[in-house]
Amino acid sequence: MNNVNKTKYKIYMPLVKLQSEKETGNIEYKIRLCNDTEEKINQLGTQMLYRLYQGEGYVIYYLGVCDNGDIMGIFENDLDISFSLLKRVSKKIGAELIKFIKINIDGTDKFYMKVILKKKLDLSLIDL
């Protein structure tokens, strides 16, 4: 994680709404991730690989965000747990953490996070 671009401070942002999550593409929204079973971690890994292939090796995760794009935010401790699990899943599939930013929802004690991951993929395996 030496080359990871990360914030060392909190950014305060007013509440906004993102576009609704799409079934295709390289963007994934998660309200929170919980320490779960190995089966659930494998499912998250499969989903992450799908998003990586959709993004030709890059995926963007938003933690603390609903599928409809509403930024709900979660408490900082829950966000840290979710981020740790996301890193665990990415390590399992060989994806590299590129950048992350933790954002405080202005006027609240809740946060959301944008995380960018990459993985070198063999795109020749994709059927056209």
**For the chain, what percent of residues have pLDDT higher than 90?**
74
Q: What is the per-residue pLDDT for 35?
A: 72
Terminal-to-terminal C-alpha distance of the chain: 34
How far is it, in rounded angstroms, from Cα 52 to Cα 25?
A: 9
Q: In the chain, where are the structural domains located?
A: 5-120
Rounded mean pLDDT, 90-118: 95
Please give the C-alpha separations between residue 7 and each of 10, 11, 54, 115, in angstroms, as whole numbers.
7, 9, 27, 11
How far is it, in rounded angstroms, from Cα 98 to Cα 60?
A: 10
SS3 state of residue 16: coil
Q: Is the pLDDT of residue 9 over 60?
A: no
Question: What is 5-120's CATH number, 2.60.40, 3.30.70, 3.30.110, 3.10.280?
Answer: 3.30.110
How far is it, in rounded angstroms, from Cα 36 to Cα 18?
A: 27
The mean pLDDT value of the chain amounts to 88
Please tell me the pTM assigned to this model: 0.85
* Cβ proximity of 70 and 16 under 8 Å: no
Q: What is the per-residue pLDDT for 8?
A: 46
36-72: pLDDT as tens digits: 789 999 999 999 999 999 999 999 999 999 999 999 9
